[in-house]
C-alpha cells in the first residue's frame, strides 16, 4: 500500500509543485528523500504545527504520520486545522480502524480509506482537488 | 516614529484595549497592559529608517511580509486594538469584542484581518511560528517571524518541542519575545522558576537569549531587536521583563487584575490620564 501511495504521489508531483512533505520518522518513506520534506523526529504534534505555518505561506503541506499521532494531536487537529478548514492533507498509516471514530466527528475533514492498490494511487492523485483538510488512511 | 510618538501610540492602544475589554466584560488587563510597548515597537517601530515589521494593511496575505504571532492569547484584545488602529478593520469592531457574531473573537481567529493563524491555547503559537519560519527559509526569503509568548506557557510541553526543532533547523529568522510579568496568577513568577534557569534551558537548546531589563523602555527594546537581527544560524529569544497591568497605577503588579477587566468606576478614573498622554 505504501508503494501505491508513493506511485500516486510521484504522479501528483508531475502536475503540482507547491507542496511540502512534513513527517516524523516513524514511517520509512523513500519518497521523502526526493521532494521538499522536513522531518520532526518522533514528535506527534510538530508536523501538524509546522503544516499550519506552511499553509500560511500558501504552501500545500502533506503531513505523513501514524494514526495514533493524529489522536495524540487531537485538539490541535480539531481547533487549528479542521475548524478553520485549512488546506492541509494527511496521509495516515493505521493498523486498525480504532482512530476512525475519532476522525469522523471532526468538522470539514474528508476521510478516505481505500482498501486496494489502485484506489490508494487514484485517491492520492485526486486528493488535492478537495479544498480543506483531507485524510487518506492507508492500512499497513 | 520617535519614542515620544510611540509612547503616545501606546497610550492610545491602552485606552482602546481598556474600553473594549470593559464593554465585553472579558479580558485580562494585567496581560494586555504588559505587552503594549512590545506591540507598538513591532507594529510602529522603525530601524534604520525601515519599518520593523514589514506588512501591508491593504493586502494582509502579501507574499513579501514579516509575521507576528501573539501566542499569549489572553492578551489578544490589545493586538486587536493595534490592528484596528492600523486600519485592518474598522475601530467600531472593538466595541463588539467577543459578542455573538462579532468579528473579534476571544481567541485569535484566522478570519480576522491581520491575524495569521487561529489559536486556542498559549503554547501553540511558538510551534506555528516555527513552521512559518521554516517555510520562509525553504523559500529563501529574508522575512522574519516574531512570536510573543507568555512566561507561564513555558510550563507546557509543546513549547519545548518547538525550541528543539527551531534550533535543529537553525531558524535565525524566528525571534521570540517572552513576556515575563512581575505577577502571574496566584503566585509570583520568581517562586515558579528562576529566570536564569530558564535562560540556561534556552541556551541548552542552542537558542541565543537577550534579556530586556525593562521592556516598557523603547530604547532597550530596539537595542535588543537590533542585536537579534545580527544573529545567524540560531533562533533568538528576547527575554522581556514587564510589569503586569502597566500604565494603570492601581493595577500594576496586582494579582487582582489578572484575568479581569476594569469596572465602570475604575475606567472613569483612569480615562483622563490616558487621554492626557495621547
Contacts of A75 in chain B (CB under 8 A): 120-121
Quote the CA–CA distance of A91 and B235 in Å, as a whole number.
Answer: 30
- pLDDT per residue over A70-95, tens digit each? 999 999 999 999 999 999 999 999 98
**B134:A54 CB<8 A:** yes
Of the pLDDT bands very low, low, confident and very high (cuts 50, 70, 90), residue B257 is confident
- Report how far residue A13's alpha carbon sits from residue A77's, in angstroms, rounded to the nearest whole number: 25
CB distance A46–B124 less than 8 Å?
A: no
How does residue B118 score in pLDDT terms, banded at 50, 70 and 90?
very high
Q: Which helix (H) or strand (E) holds A123?
A: helix A117-126
Residues of chain A neighbouring B119 (CB-CB closer than 8 A) = 80
In a mutational test of the B interface, the residue from A56, A78, A87, A133 whose CB has the highest number of chain B CBs within 10 Å is: A56
Length of chain B: 278
B135 with A56: Cβ contact below 8 A: yes
pTM (whole model) above 0.90: yes
Tens of pLDDT, residue by residue over B154-182, are 888 999 999 999 999 999 999 999 999 87
Please tell me the predicted confidence (pLDDT) of residue B195: 61
Mean pLDDT of all residues in B3-19: 95
Confidence band, pLDDT 50/70/90 cuts, at residue B193:
low
Interface touch A56/B117, C-beta < 8 Å: yes
> ipTM, 2 decimals?
0.94
| pLDDT averaged over every residue in chain B | 92
Whole-number pLDDT of residue A36: 86
Mean pLDDT of B234-243: 95
pLDDT computed for residue B192 by the predictor = 59
> Is A45 part of the contact surface with chain B (CB cutoff 8 Å)?
yes
Interface residues on B facing A, Cβ-Cβ cutoff 8 A: 61, 67, 109-111, 116-121, 124, 127-136, 138-139, 158, 161-162, 165, 169
User: Among partner residues A50, A79, A83, which is closest to B131 by beta-carbon distance?
Assistant: A50
- Greater pLDDT, A32 or B227: B227
The SS3 of residue A86 is coil
Mean pLDDT of A46-60: 96
Residue A95: what are its φ and ψ, rounded to 5°?
A: -90, -25
Q: Among all residues of chain A, which has the CA nearest to that of B116?
A: A56
User: What gap in Å lies between CA B278 and CA A8, rounded to an integer?
Assistant: 61
Q: Please determine, for residue B1, whether its predicted confidence score (pLDDT) is greater than 90.
A: no
DSSP of B68-90: EEE--GGGHHHHHHHHHHHTSS-
Report the mean per-residue pLDDT for chain A.
91
Give the torsion sign (CA, B19, B22, B24, B29): positive
Position A16 scores a pLDDT of 85
The whole-number average pLDDT for the span B125-140 is: 96
What's the rounded Cα separation, in Å, for the pair A24 and B159?
18
At residue B125, the 3 state secondary structure works out as helix
* pLDDT tier at B185, thresholds 50, 70, 90: low
> Contact B25/B261 with Cβ under 8 angstroms?
yes
Mean pLDDT confidence for A39-50: 94
Grid coordinates representing A50? 509546522
Share of chain A above pLDDT 90, in %: 67
Residue of A nearest to B110 (CA): A84
Q: A4-18, A37-51, B94-108, B234-248 — which is least confidently predicted?
A: A4-18
Burial (CB < 10 A; 0-12, 13-18, 19+), residue A12, is: middle
d(CA B258, CA B251): 9
DSSP code for B69: E
C-beta atoms of B162 and A49 within 8 A: yes
Q: Give the chain B residue nearest A20 (alpha carbons).
A: B135
Residue A14 banded pLDDT, cuts 50, 70, 90: confident
Q: Do B135 and A46 touch (CB under 8 A)?
A: no
What is the average per-residue pLDDT within A10-19? 87
For chain B, domains (ranges, CATH) are 3-277 (3.40.50.970)
Amino acid at each position: 500500500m505504501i508503494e501505491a501511495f508513493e506511485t500516486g504521489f510521484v504522479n501528483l508531483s508531475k502536475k503540482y509543485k507547491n507542496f511540502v512533505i512534513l513527517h516524523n520518522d516513524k514511517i520509512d518513506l523513500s519518497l521523502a528523500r526526493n521532494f521538499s520534506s522536513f522531518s520532526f523526529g518522533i514528535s506527534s504534534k510538530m508536523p501538524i504545527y509546522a503544516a499550519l505555518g506552511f499553509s500560511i505561506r500558501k504552501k500545500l503541506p502533506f503531513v505523513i504520520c501514524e494514526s495514533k499521532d493524529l489522536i495524540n494531536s487531537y485538539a490541535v487537529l480539531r481547533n487549528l486545522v479542521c475548524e478553520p478548514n485549512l488546506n492541509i492533507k494527511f496521509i495516515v498509516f493505521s493498523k486498525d480502524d480504532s482512530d476512525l471514530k475519532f476522525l469522523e466527528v471532526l468538522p470539514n475533514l474528508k476521510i478516505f480509506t481505500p482498501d486496494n492498490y489502485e484506489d490508494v494511487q487514484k485517491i492520492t492523485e485526486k486528493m488535492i482537488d478537495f479544498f480543506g483538510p483531507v485524510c487518506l488512511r492507508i492500512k499497513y | 516614529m520617535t519614542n515620544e510618538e510611540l509612547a503616545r501610540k501606546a497610550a492610545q492602544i491602552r485606552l482602546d484595549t481598556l474600553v473594549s475589554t470593559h464593554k465585553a466584560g472579558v479580558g485580562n488587563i494585567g496581560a494586555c497592559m504588559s505587552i503594549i510597548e512590545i506591540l507598538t515597537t513591532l507594529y510602529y517601530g522603525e530601524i534604520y529608517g525601515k519599518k520593523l515589521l514589514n506588512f501591508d494593511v491593504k493586502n494582509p496575505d502579501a507574499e513579501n511580509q514579516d509575521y507576528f504571532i501573539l501566542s499569549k492569547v489572553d492578551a489578544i484584545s490589545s493586538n486587536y486594538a493595534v490592528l484596528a488602529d492600523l486600519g485592518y478593520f474598522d475601530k467600531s469592531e472593538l466595541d463588539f469584542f467577543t459578542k455573538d457574531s462579532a468579528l473579534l473573537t476571544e481567541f485569535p481567529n484566522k478570519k480576522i484581518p491581520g491575524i495569521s493563524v487561529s489559536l486556542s491555547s498559549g503554547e501553540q503559537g511558538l510551534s506555528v511560528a516555527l513552521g512559518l519560519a521554516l517555510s520562509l527559509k525553504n523559500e529563501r526569503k529574508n522575512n522574519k517571524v516574531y512570536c510573543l509568548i507568555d512566561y507561564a506557557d513555558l510550563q507546557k510541553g509543546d513549547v519545548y518541542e518547538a525550541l528543539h526543532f527551531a534550533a535543529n533547523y537553525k531558524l535565525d529568522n524566528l525571534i521570540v519575545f517572552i513576556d515575563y510579568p512581575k505577577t502571574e496568577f496566584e503566585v509570583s513568577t520568581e517562586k515558579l522558576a528562576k529566570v536564569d534557569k530558564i535562560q540556561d534551558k534556552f541556551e541548552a537548546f542552542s537558542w541565543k537569549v537577550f534579556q530586556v531589563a525593562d521592556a516598557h523602555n523603547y530604547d532597550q527594546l530596539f537595542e535588543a531587536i537590533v542585536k537579534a537581527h545580527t544573529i545567524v544560524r540560531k533562533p533568538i529569544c528576547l527575554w522581556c521583563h514587564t510589569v503586569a497591568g502597566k500604565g494603570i497605577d492601581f493595577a500594576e503588579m496586582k494579582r487582582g487584575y489578572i484575568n479581569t477587566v476594569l469596572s465602570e468606576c475604575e475606567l472613569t478614573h483612569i480615562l483622563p490620564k490616558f487621554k492626557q498622554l495621547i
